[in-house]
Structure 1
Amino acid sequence: MTPEQLSDAISHALAEAVSAGEFTVDLPETVRVDRPKSRDHGDWATNVALQLAKKAGMNPREFAQALQSRLLEVDGIAGVEIAGPGFLNITLDAASAGQLAQKIVESGAEYGTNDSLAGHVVNLEFVSANPTGPLHIGHTRWAALGDSIGRILRAAGADITREYYINDAGNQMNVFAQSVYNRLHGLPVPEGGYPGEYVRELADAVAAERADVRELDEETALPVIRDLAYKAQLADIKETLSDFGVEFDVYFSEAELHDSGAVGAAVERLREQGHVDDEGGAVWLRTTDFGDDKDRVMIRANGEPTYFAADAAYYLSKKDRGFAEKIYLLGADHHGYVNRLKAIAACAGDDPKKNIEILIGQLISVNGAKLSKRAGNIIELRDLIDWLGADALRYSLARFPADSPIAIDPELLQQKTNDNPVFYVQYAHARSCAAARNAAEKGVDRSGFDASLLTHETENDLLALLAQYPNQIAGAAEFREPHRIARYLETLAGAYHRWYGACRVAPLAGEDVTDTNRTRLWLNDATTQVLANGLELLGVSAPERM
């Protein structure tokens, strides 16, 4: 019996009690069941009696007693105890608990996916680095976490679009073009320009694409260089992200917002909403009406739009494209953006508590990391991938909450020991694959299954953890916390290693293959599947050999 099936059984018991007139109460859509902190308190527990008793005008223990008698009649439930003020502690029989192994193997990659966020249409924007240089350590955390959040939300049933906002408008792009132009002509880096060996690489790429670029006068050359260097740098960014296991559904150009007239249109739409003022020749959005610390200029007195105006137009674009929920993942230096973005949502007629969510990630550091030879003044993401590996880097970034600073220890991540978390989890997966191969060599297959044979303490612990996986996904999705999956996988790996040491899958030499071996193979393979599913959510590989 899975947690979902147990939840359904409790819901059915509630409905029966209402139908019998034992109490009157509005039935919940679902009943939550959780693992008790102590196994002495059963396999699962629910506080549904505490939640509903007052509404039914009853004492919680009385309410629980009405459910207890019905639940004891359910196949697969071995015992139901009422604890404290009205908790129901439920114990499953061994066969019922063990059936989960078979379900997991049969469900495969779909096990754990759920519909807890079904109907949610979400635009998830992350990374969004300027296309004027390579991705660096500051972008690394959101690349890993943003991608994992997207995978987890999708596993929880949400309709997710991952979007990268390309800041390809404004003076920074002119400075970028000038930097490449100067490098083409052997001139010094312009004031405020971009240094680094990568600028020479871009200059070479531009020259290869346009052979006569050095012969053009500066005024003619700069737009050409800007376009070609921008495309080359964006291609480099996409390649680096792909090497990191990160793909986007949409790359959205800020320049297109301006070129299409969307920025001016956004100002007028917000004016119609009644939140725009004209003062001192400039156009202002009254964001202070919705909690911002000051009103924001949208159009300067000289007629030039601000970055904030583009932010407003971009938000309206997301709304117009049908995204009821918009999640922004911003860096540690963007705290000031929270109130102003929420104010844009409110000015646009949306609910800032429902339609927009802003997550701020804290800084990371990597001990011993060296500045990039290409960029000169930053630590490049591609160098970190080459040095530590995408798996180790992504897992390390995923296993901590986004709002906590991280100091990564490269020596630890390169160790093949249980002290290295990513090795510990990946090794559990590889070990389970090796166990399956060894079992096959000894003639063990999954032709037989008797869940009642899974009675060892380590088997009970392993099954209990496997049963928790769908709830782990739902929780990680609800709170946007991939670290819940990482920490769960470490706990599951530990339970598997203990089971592996206590219960053999393959028989010893001279022993016959029995249904115990076959059933344990199901449990082994179920663990393999959940480890692989969880690692996939983190964008980390699940090796079959290590």
Structure 2
Amino acid sequence: MTPADLSSTVLHAVRRAVDEDALRAPVPARVRVERTRPGGSGDYACAVALQLAGPAGIPARGVAEILRERVAGAPGIGRVEITGPGFLNFTLDPTAGGAARSGRVREVLEKGPRYGWGTTCAGQVHQLHHRREVRAAVVAGAVAKLLRAQGALVRTSCEEAPDPDWARLGVTVDAHGRPPVPLGETRPVPAGATAGELLERLGADAARWGLLRPAGHDHAALGGELLVQGEGNPLFLVRYAHARARALVREGARLGVTGVYEQSADVPAPALHSALDDHPGVLAAAALHQAPDRLARHLETLADSFLDFQGVTPPLPAGDEKPSAAHRSRLALAEAAGTVLAGGLSLLGISAPDHL
């Protein structure tokens, strides 16, 4: 693990802590790590906890504990210690990273789109109640999927008879009417349009993304930008990344290259590996906080990191180049990224076409 890799890993930990509401502070643009000075502990040290303590309103050692929980066990890191007023000290484990990454890619390919599903909410029963409003209905449906993916039993209800057009947006309601006891309601900022109007202007996939991508307290942007076929449209970016991953797998099959991640041919793509590693935690947090927007943002991060990786490190041989272990590992990583993107889009009720 290089200093840049370690910096990226710590920054991911900060973002994850903020997304999970464990830490309330602005995410820095970058995190600086330095070689430990003579007599210090570990290989590298980082003072980000001291930087975040003031905005977070908690002691630096408390911030360091929050971050240590999210960094410990990351590929390539052997031990994380807290020293002094709140310095994080890292001892690297160069032998562990490749094995961890190989195991993760293998797990993704074995579990398929269900990679990241867990038991965080096992045994829980949730009754989701919402108004007769399209955004509330779509958000409640997505939350129900996320909770079920974490093992919960879920029932949805609406205060009035559902809009018939909701079915075309993939929304189902188990019951309607005022419940006999008060229930917590799903109350995002209303869309300002009906399901029929959104379907006519945007279609089901773009409408669902536009309704789910913003946090519930923010207004949903539901304009023509959702239909733009360009990298400025996050929905297009996510679906394009998935389609690109599937195209690489198809072309690999044509060339006789099968994706198998080999520890001896570890792929240097820290951002992509981190995004895959974060996915189970993101799904659990999105379910616990009933916030599908967290999953949408994570898919954008994953898509960005995948497209960067495949642009810099081509997964397939070119010209007269012979297939190697490096190509097999890269192709397996590409297939894993596409698999996670498809699974995430499915939980949001959005299709993941193989061709765009």
TM range (shorter): 0.7 to 0.9
| Residues 102 and 523 in structure 1, CA contact (< 8 A), matched pair in contact too | no
Which string of whole-angstrom CA distances, capped at 9 and with x for unpartnered residues, describes residues 228-260 of structure 1? xxxxxx6xx34x222101123x234x4xxxxxx
Gaps of at least 5 residues in structure 2 are 1-21, 35-42, 47-60
Give the RMSD, CA atoms, in angstroms. 3.1
Q: What does residue range 285-300 of structure 1 map to in structure 2 within 5 Å? A: none
Matched, 1:539 2:352: no
| 2:200 equivalent in structure 1 | 386
In structure 2, distance between residues paired with 1:534 and 1:166? 30
Residue-pair matches, total: 295
Question: Could you report, residue by residue, the CA deviation over 1:165-207 in whole angstroms, capped at 9, with x for unpaired residues?
Answer: 445xxxxxxxxxxxxxxxxxxxxxxxxxxxxxxxxxxxxxxxx
Q: Equivalent residue of 1:418, what SS?
A: coil
Structure 1 alignment gaps of length 5 or more: 1-31, 46-59, 130-138, 168-233, 255-310, 317-340, 342-355, 366-378
Q: How is 1:275-286 mapped onto 2 (pairs within 5 angstroms)?
A: none
Distance 1:361 1:390 in 2: 19
Q: Which residue of 2 aligns with 1:94?
A: 97
Q: Secondary structure at the match of 1:408?
A: coil
- Residue in structure 1 matched with residue 153 of structure 2 by the alignment: 159
| Whole-angstrom CA distance in 1 between matches of 2:296 and 2:135 | 15
Q: For residue 163 of structure 1, report the CA deviation from its aligned partner.
A: 2.5
Contact kept in structure 1, 2:121 and 2:150, CA below 8 Å = yes
Residue identity in the other structure for 2:229: K
**In the alignment, structure 1 residue 499 sits paired with structure 2 residue 326:** no
1:423 to 232, 236, 252: 236
Who is 2:15 aligned against? none
CA gap 1:468/1:382 in 2 versus in 1, 3 angstroms:
same
Structure 1 distance, partners of 2:32, 2:107, is 23
Match of 2:113 in 1: 109
Q: Is it true that 1:400 corresponds to 2:217 in the alignment?
A: no
Q: Deviations over 1:486-506 (max 9, x none)?
A: 111111110011001011111
Question: Which residue of structure 1 lines up, in the alignment, with residue 129 of structure 2?
Answer: 125
Q: Secondary structure at the match of 2:180?
A: helix
1:246 aligned to 2:171?
Answer: yes
Contact 1:123 1:163 in 2 (8 A): yes
State the Cα distance separating 1:364 from its structure 2 match: 3.0
Q: Is the 8 A contact 2:245 2:337 kept in 1?
A: yes
Deviation at 1:76, TM superposition (A): 7.1
Cα distance, 1:94–1:407 mapped onto 2, change above 3 Å: closer
Q: Evaluate the alpha carbon distance shift between residue 384 and residue 449 of structure 1 in structure 2; reply closer, same or farther with a 3 A threshold.
A: closer
Contact 2:134 2:190 in 1 (8 A): no
Residue 82 of structure 1 aligns to a residue whose secondary structure is: strand
1:151 maps to amino acid? K
Larger radius of gyration: 1
Counterpart among 179, 184, 205 of residue 357 in structure 1: 184
Q: Partner letter of residue 420 of structure 1?
A: N
Counterparts of 1:107 and 1:496, CA distance in 2 = 19
Structure 1 residue runs of 4 or more that deviate by more than 6 Å after TM superposition: none
Classify the secondary structure of the residue corresponding to 2:184. Answer: strand
Moved more, 89-98 or 112-121: 89-98
Match of 1:315 in 2: 180
- Aligned ranges for residues 58-77 of structure 1 at < 5 Å? none
Measure the CA separation in 1 of the matches of 2:247 and 2:189. 39
Q: Is the CA contact 2:129–2:184 (under 8 Å) kept in the aligned structure 1? A: no
Identity %: 28
> d(CA) in 1 for partners of 2:206 and 2:226?
6
Cα distance in 2, alignment partners of residues 142 and 358 from structure 1: 9
The CA distance in 1 between the partners of 2:209 and 2:92, in whole Å, is: 35
**Partner Cα distance (1:77, 1:405) in 2:** 41
Q: 1:98 to 1:452 in 2, by over 3 A?
A: farther
* Residues 280-325 of structure 1 deviation map (CA, whole Å, 9 limit, x = unaligned): xxxxxxxxxxxxxxxxxxxxxxxxxxxxxxx4xx234xxxxxxxxx
**Once the 2 structures are TM-superposed, how far is the Cα of residue 454 of structure 1 from its aligned partner?**
2.4
Contact kept, 8 Å, 1:83 with 1:89, in 2: the verdict is no
Matches within 5 A, 1:147-296: 147-166=141-160, 237-238=163-164, 240-248=165-173, 250-252=174-176, 254=177
Indicate whether 1:444 and 2:257 are aligned: yes
User: Residue in 2 aligned with 1:178?
Assistant: none
Partner residue in 2 for 1:521: 331
Hey, what's the Cα distance between the residues in 1 that align with 2:91 and 2:332? Answer: 25
Give 1:381 shift.
Answer: 1.6
Q: Structure 1: which amino acid aligns with 2:168?
A: D
Work out the CA distance in 1 between the residues paired with 2:223 and 2:105: 36
- TM-score, length-scaled by structure 2: 0.74
TM-score by length of 1: 0.49
Shift of 1:97: 3.3
Partners of 1:76 and 1:540 in 2: CA distance = 31
Residue type at the aligned position of 1:453: A
Gap change, CA 1:89 and 1:243, over 3 Å in 2: farther
**Judging changes above 3 Å, is the alpha-carbon distance between structure 1 residues 39 and 496 closer, same or farther for their aligned structure 2 residues?**
farther
User: Which residue in the other structure is 1:135 paired with?
Assistant: none
Contact 2:147 2:287 in 1 (8 A): yes
Q: CA deviation at 1:474?
A: 1.1
Question: Residue 75 and residue 487 in structure 1: after superposition, are their counterparts in 2 closer, same or farther (change >3 A)?
Answer: closer
Contact 2:242–2:342, Cα closer than 8 Å, also in 1: yes
Q: Which amino acid aligns with 1:162?
A: T
Question: Which of 227, 230, 236 in structure 2 is aligned with 1:414?
Answer: 227
Q: How far has the Cα of 1:526 moved from its partner? A: 0.6
Contact 1:429 1:544 in 2 (8 A): yes
Cα distance change of structure 1 residues 78 and 471 upon mapping to structure 2, 3 Å threshold? closer
Matches of 1:539 and 1:511 in 2, distance apart? Answer: 41
Partner SS, residue 389 of structure 1: helix
Q: 1: distance between equivalents of 2:75 and 2:230?
A: 40
Q: Offset of 1:481 from its aligned partner?
A: 0.8
The answer for the alignment partner of 1:472 in structure 2 is: 282
Distance 2:234 2:195 in 1: 21
Tell me the distance in 1 between the aligned counterparts of 2:144 and 2:74.
38
